[in-house]
Structure 1
């Protein structure tokens, strides 16, 4: 009896002990994994994400977007052999680094326009005095009777049927300041849509040294006036 009882209890104890050991080992292993994962997640929050956010904040706090403005020049401005000067006033909110106070201030930007510049030429200024980086883009004013085509100038000349048959002499003021005489007397009769090209009467062109040593062409397009 005692032997059987002891044997049964011994077997039961062994089984229970084995199950408890396995269970305890599993629980400890699970806690170890959970603890390790928690440390890693905390570590990631402290070091990984935090560094990226701080870096982004530094970039957002210091980087300033470039402001773009247009300025206008006439063909006369761009034909001037000495160029011209444009002074442009810009308003911007400036933050005092010491007091963080915001004030609206003016700044004058000076652009030395070179002869022969074309529409689309960009002049850039770096950030200074609390003002953001600036980019000024040249636009050409519309001329009353001339059209710029690269380095050339086009003029649409209207003539009567009598002028087309007998010839005509037209005085044309150019942006350079000179007055050019267009004569059709040696090219009669002139047809509607005829074009003549005059070399060296267009816009200034820069050579390899940056000097305006030559000029483009003047293209004259003749149009016959109706009922003339």
Structure 2
């Protein structure tokens, strides 16, 4: 039967990290086996659930997986198109240094009862050797990061055969690029790297890298575009027809007088926000006014007359 970790800590799903810490401290003290010598077995079971709940809900990556896929996702019982990042395992020292003065007693209980948490992936090989993850860049266009895309990555890696000799195998990995992902986003495929005899295979991590775009620049969730205007357009107004990253043409009226540093801001036409792709940042148009290189005497006279009348 699946465990509701929010119910274990008596929290709602919108609880923040401070709420999680406070709930854990209160319930861990309540159910510590040393404080319950009469109902020792019940206390051990409750204490273990509290530890496991804290281990999941205090880790943003684990919590995200749990919220979407439940306990099955944490136990690798769900098939992912793209494997989620490996969750961080909570260490007893981190927890007890923060919460409790009698750290040794609480550490012993945590290790004995909870066995360190139980939901994370270990990066250690059978012999205890740490296996370093392998990172590769995943170059993405701004259009990919705006609309989303699927990539198929052909990889070759070495693994030991039945006799302990290295052999090369090829595999195709699928990566679903989500709208709104930013440079530096990591997509982890556990144990899809090279493997040496007597050790686990390394994790393979793809790190999103954003290609420069010819028109747009990204600023967080905003898109920024530079647009040149003549002096006449800057003073009298104009229309800017801008083609978006998904192919739409936006006719943008510019009615204000364009001063140096002026930006036209179009709400909800920037990059999708990855946590909620139904929302977007802003589109910001930065104007560069192009002044004429020379004016005739008549033009100078006309400008003095018109602008002088405006000033008056």
Shift of the alpha carbon at 1:196? 1.5
Which structure has more relative contact order (CA 8 Å, sep 6+)? It is 1
Paired residues for 1:1-228 under 5 Å = 58-60=127-129, 63-80=130-147, 83-96=148-161, 98-128=162-192, 130=195, 131-184=201-254, 186-188=255-257, 190-206=258-274, 210-227=275-292
Assess, with a 3 A threshold, how the Cα gap between structure 1 residues 213 and 57 changes in structure 2: closer, same or farther.
closer
- The alignment's C-alpha RMSD in Å is 2.3
Distance 1:154 1:84 in 2: 22
Shift of the alpha carbon at 1:104? 2.9
Distance 2:192 2:260 in 1: 57
Q: Which runs of 5+ in 2 are unaligned?
A: 1-124, 196-200, 294-312
Distance 2:210 2:224 in 1: 15
Deviations 1:158-178 (A, max 9, x none): 111122122221211111321
Q: TM-score, normalised by structure 1?
A: 0.64
Assess, with a 3 A threshold, how the Cα gap between structure 1 residues 215 and 128 changes in structure 2: closer, same or farther.
closer
Runs of 4 or more above 6 Å deviation: none
Shift of the alpha carbon at 1:110? 1.1
Count of aligned pairs between the two proteins? 163
Q: TM-score, normalised by structure 2?
A: 0.48
**Larger Rg over CA atoms:** 1
